[in-house]
Chain A
Amino acid sequence: MSILQDPPLIEVRNLSVHFATPEGDTQAVRDVSFAVHAGETVAIVGESGSGKSQSMMAAMGLLPGNARVTGEIAFKGRNLLTLPRRALRELRGAELAMIFQEPMTSLDPLYRIGDQLIEPIRRHSRLSAHDARARALEMLGLVRLPEPERMMRSYPHELSGGQRQRVMIAMALTNDPALLIADEPTTALDVTIQAEILALMADLQKRLGMGMVFISHDLNMVRHIADRVCVMRAGEVVEHGPVAQIFEAPQHPYTRALIDADPKGHKPPAPTNAPVLLHARDVTVTFGTAPHQVQAVRGLSLDLRAGETVGIVGESGSGKSTFARALLRLNQSEGEIRFDGVPISTLTRAQMRPYRAQMQVVFQDPFGALSPRMTAGQIVTEGLLVHRPDLTRAARDAMAAQALTEVQLNPEFRNRYIHEFSGGQRQRIAIARALILKPRLLVLDEPTSALDRMVQAQVVDLLRDLQARHQLTYLFISHDLAVVRAMADRVMVMKSGELVEEGPCAQVLHAPRAAYTKRLIAAAFDTQAMAPA
């Protein structure tokens, strides 16, 4: 921030990116200008489809063949857009480095970590094999990976997601780049690990004095690491300024909406004397056969009262989704499950069918949860074919229109195919499909995780509203504590298939007892800089 008088390291001027698609030309980036100085971190923030990644891909020359770029990207005085491929390739990796979102697929599974680190070092410098190895070890130490010697000999599949992302950072930094471009480097990681990686990146950027472009969909996340912020929407920069100004005096209504995008409010408390709707005791789910057995859920119990919302929180792999599927009898489990007093764990498929209408589920992925070959109306009414075979086609159609209205979608859309809807609209269709059967229990398996922050808040509002109107009981699964706080009466925290902590929502979030819960809360709310709750 103190070096603004120097010429900028990279300066983007009037950058526009068009894509020629068979359906016509689309403009992904329009007239974007910004600059990054040495030693400065600029965050580019926007929701999916806002063009935030495309503008940096243009700088790296990594856009697909059907893209047309106009404008100028000056890096140390050279226009990257007119640079010959060969010269650009030499800049990439040496002076311009990039970290991608997905640490699982960015490393080649066939080579050891050491070999993957040493190869780019030797390509860009004249170091001997021995010196390159020493440099690789130094880099692994720099990103604070334990036992760098052992890491060098490991294959990618032996590392966790966070460790792989550290390796990717080490790889990007080996040649002392002048500019590091980080494209959502923490999005695919668990919350606790996200915080560690963010801290590491902020620290390295200061120590190495490089420029950094940090691309993220979450404005609140970049608060602690960015010097300046560019807010993008629909390919345009809507606001641009120092981080303090953006957060304290946001000018553009869109920026204000993004800052406020966390779901707010609380669920009105449920009556404590309501009957128990779902009762589960010692539910255990085991995958695989004898030698390779994995216990995904170990002896979990739950009492869910009518009108109540229980949130299940945990990182990926904690068994929370598996537990919910076991309660719905979508996978095999041991233990006792009673729905409305009826033991359902021993029912056959046919005996189970009448209860299916009463316990419904909404899944995480709005793209995978709806069949791409069916119209919205067909999807919403599919349950009626099973549970209300007496209805005529016209009656079903009327109910579909009504269900779509209920989730605030235009009922005219019921003859459209799924690929024409946005993520948030798809999630509403999935909710309508569950609600049309008038269920009593709705299991929500990360219903907001795949959505943009602002759409999340809308869906949370919708879910709370529907719960109040139809006296629904929710089992709400999420890794996102901000969403859970807005939705749940009680919270269960899970780790490795076991219950870590359980209690009323406010108590667990404000006075956590277990160390793991404390870590989870610290990671979630520190990086997101929550407004005081």
Chain B
Amino acid sequence: MHDHISAHSQSLWSKAWTRLKRNRAAMASLTYLVLMVLACSFGPMLAPNSYSELFQSYTRVPASLSAYPRAEQIGPAIEATAARARLDLTGWQLQGDTVVIEVSARRAIDPRAVQYFDRSDLFADTRLQATDDTHATLTAQIERHWFFFGTDATGRDLFARTLIAGRVSLAIGVLAGLVAAVIGVFYGAIAGFAGGRTDQIMMRVVDVLYSLPFIFFVIMLVVFFGRNFLLMFVAVGAVLWLDMARIVRGQTLSLRRQEFVEAAEALGVSPFAILTRHIIPNLLGPVIVFLTLLVPNVIILESFLSYLGFGVQEPMSSWGILIAQGARAMPSANWMLAFPALFLISTLFALNFLGDGLRDALDPKDH
């Protein structure tokens, strides 16, 4: 015998991993996805603003790396706030982060007027110094806010919203994808392995489910069980497993005819053990590849459902919802579309690249 075998043994999985590591596009995609998951998981906690906080003074402000308010916004804001507080503005001055405002009034100035300023998103910590009954000096700190991605029509920080939306989209994508994969793999493997009449009946059930209109099915689920986040996983997963079941069944039919399955039968191995020990491990390659292509599908489906109003509800958001809102605001506020769309597209792109790389890495013929 020629002992040509290498010093250490490698399973097909570790071999596939070595091959994947050599695929630069796939590895870049994998890194990108990991960063995206980390950003979406922890980003909302670290973002300067909460995703649900409304900044009424800053509706639809464009994306910027420098802080708001801008110098030219301060004057009009002071005028508007003073008018609301029924004070006449006599002059104002900016000293660093502090603004000094001279006001007068026909009647005596109520010290509570400072609340009008504090309530604004621009000023904080306002103090009133009355020079006499009808004249006063207000000193206020300028509140600095950062909106890296701008704000939406109700003045919410789009940066925080994009990250929290990513959390929802990715979670639904991965969880519903896994639900679909688990149901699909077991259903398809059992149908393909049992064969004969069992197979016929099981696959006809799949055909019937295929012919149900998906949206009606989801509306029915929502009507029966009410609206909730978990239901999304179930609804999307319950529909997408059909594709998975068909793919797995086809693979199982061809695996079933492999001689190692027949050899196991000749050893007297029980059908369940053949299924779990021989069929399913050999199915995992195509299943993983299909899963990476399934996740983008789920994300898109969820966007569609959310758009119709069956998905997550405000103030929660998903990329699909943000894109829908951005599309409506497109002519005047293009950043509202650009950032969520960039996140969604780049994630789907990375997932597809990774799926491609995995298919190449897991293909046993490609040695």
The interface residues of chain B lying within 8 Å CB-to-CB of A413 are 5
User: Which residues does A use to contact B, with CB under 8 Å?
Assistant: 21-23, 325, 328, 330, 352-353, 356-357, 359-361, 363-365, 368-375, 382-383, 385-387, 408-410, 413, 415-417, 419-422, 424-425, 430, 433, 437
Q: How far is the CA of A419 from the CA of B270 in the complex (A)?
A: 26
In the bound complex, residues from chain B placing their C-beta under 8 Å from that of A364 are: 259
Question: Any chain A CB within 8 A of the CB of B19?
Answer: yes
Complex contact B364–A415 (CB within 8 A): no
Task: Using known A-B contacts A371-B260, A373-B12, A410-B3, determine if residue A22 contacts B267 with beta carbons closer than 8 Å.
Answer: no
Assuming A356-B267, A383-B267, A425-B1, what are 20 further A-B pairs, CB within 8 angstroms?
A22-B22, A330-B266, A353-B268, A356-B268, A365-B259, A368-B258, A371-B277, A371-B281, A372-B12, A372-B282, A372-B364, A374-B277, A383-B268, A385-B269, A386-B269, A387-B267, A387-B268, A416-B5, A417-B11, A422-B2
Judge if B106 is at the interface, Cβ distance under 8 Å.
no
* B residues adjacent to A (C-beta < 8 A): 1-6, 9-12, 15, 18-19, 22, 258-260, 262-270, 273, 277-278, 281-282, 364, 367
Query: Are A415 and B9 neighbours in the complex by a CB distance under 8 Å?
Result: yes
Contacts of B2 in A (CB 8 A): 422
List A contacts of B4 (CB < 8 A): 422
Which partner residue on chain B sits nearest A352 by CB separation?
B268
Question: Contact at B1–A408, with CB atoms within 8 Å?
Answer: yes
Taken together as a complex, chains A and B put the C-alpha atoms of A432 and B6 apart, in Å, by 22
**16 contacts across the A-B interface (CB closer than 8 A):** A21-B367, A328-B266, A356-B267, A365-B259, A368-B258, A372-B12, A373-B282, A386-B267, A386-B270, A409-B1, A410-B1, A410-B3, A416-B9, A417-B12, A420-B6, A421-B5
> Measured between alpha carbons, how far is A53 from B144 in the docked complex, in Å?
74
How many A-B contacts are there with CB distance less than 8 Å? 98
List residues of chain A with CB within 8 A of the CB of B265: 330
Docked pose: A352 CA to B267 CA in angstroms: 10
Q: What CA separation (Å) do A527 and B12 show in the bound complex?
A: 42
By the criterion CB–CB under 8 Å, are B268 and A371 in contact? no
Instruction: Decide if B269 touches A382 in the complex (CB within 8 Å).
Output: yes
List 10 A-B pairs, minimum CB-CB distance, nearest first: A356-B268, A369-B259, A383-B267, A363-B259, A373-B281, A416-B9, A353-B268, A371-B260, A368-B259, A361-B266
Which of B1, B3, B5, B22 has the most A CB atoms < 10 Å from its CB? B1
Give complex CA distance A325, B269 in Å: 16
Contacts of A408 in B (CB 8 A): 1
Q: What residues of A have a CB within 8 angstroms of the CB of B15 in the complex?
A: 419
Task: Report A-chain residues with C-beta under 8 Å of the C-beta of B269.
Answer: 382-383, 385-386
Known: A373-B282, A410-B1, A425-B1. A356 touches B260 (CB 8 A): no
Known: A383-B268, A408-B1, A410-B3. A433 touches B263 (CB 8 A): yes
From residue B266, how far is it (CB to closest CB) to chain A in Å?
5
Which residues of the other chain, A, contact B19 by a CB distance below 8 angstroms?
A: 22
- Give Cα A419–Cα B265 distance, bound, in whole angstroms: 22
A397 to chain B, nearest CB (A): 15
Nearest-CB residue, chain B, relative to A355? B268
Known: A22-B22, A373-B281, A425-B1. A360 touches B259 (CB 8 A): no
Beyond A373-B281, A387-B268, is A417–B3 a contact (Cβ under 8 Å)?
no
CB-nearest residue of chain A to B2: A422
Q: Which B residues lie within 8 Å of A417 (CB)?
A: 9-12
Alpha-carbon distance A386/B10, docked complex (angstroms): 27
- Taking the closest CB of chain A, its distance from the CB of B26, in whole angstroms, is 13
Residues of B within 8 A of A437 (CB): 267
- Given A352-B268, A417-B10, A422-B2, A361:B282 Cβ within 8 A: no
Per the bound structure, the CA–CA distance linking A462 and B215 in Å amounts to 65
Q: Which residue of A lies closest to B271 (CB)?
A: A349
Q: How far is the CB of B234 from chain A (nearest CB, A)?
A: 31
Determine if B259 and A419 form an interchain contact, defined as CB atoms under 8 angstroms apart.
no
| CA distance in complex: A21, B268 (Å) | 40
CA distance A22 to B10 in the complex (A): 15
Q: A22-B22, A356-B268, A363-B263 are known contacts. Are A371 and B5 too (CB-CB below 8 A)? A: no
Nearest neighbor of B364 in chain A, beta-carbon distance: A372
Chain A residues lying within 8 Å of B1, measured Cβ to Cβ, are 408-410, 424-425
Q: Once the chains bind, are B266 and A419 in contact (CB under 8 Å)?
A: no
Nearest-neighbour CB distance to chain A for B80, whole angstroms, equals: 66
Min Cβ gap A234→B in Å is 11
Chain A residues with CB under 8 A of B262: 325, 330, 361, 363
B6, B266, B282: the one contacting A356 at CB < 8 Å is B266
Tell me the complex Cα distance, A361–B263, Å.
7
What chain A residues lie within 8 Å of B6 (beta carbons)? 420
Known: A22-B22, A373-B282, A417-B10. A386 touches B263 (CB 8 A): no
Residues of chain A lying within 8 A (CB to CB) of residue B5: 413, 416, 420-421
Measured between C-beta atoms, what is the minimum distance from A522 to chain B in Å? Answer: 32
* Distance in angstroms between the alpha carbons of A351 and B3 in the assembled complex: 42
A158–B282 alpha-carbon span in the complex (Å): 35
Give chain A residues whose Cβ lies under 8 Å from the Cβ of B278. Answer: 371
CA distance A23 to B21 in the complex (A): 12
A419 to B6, CA, bound (A): 11
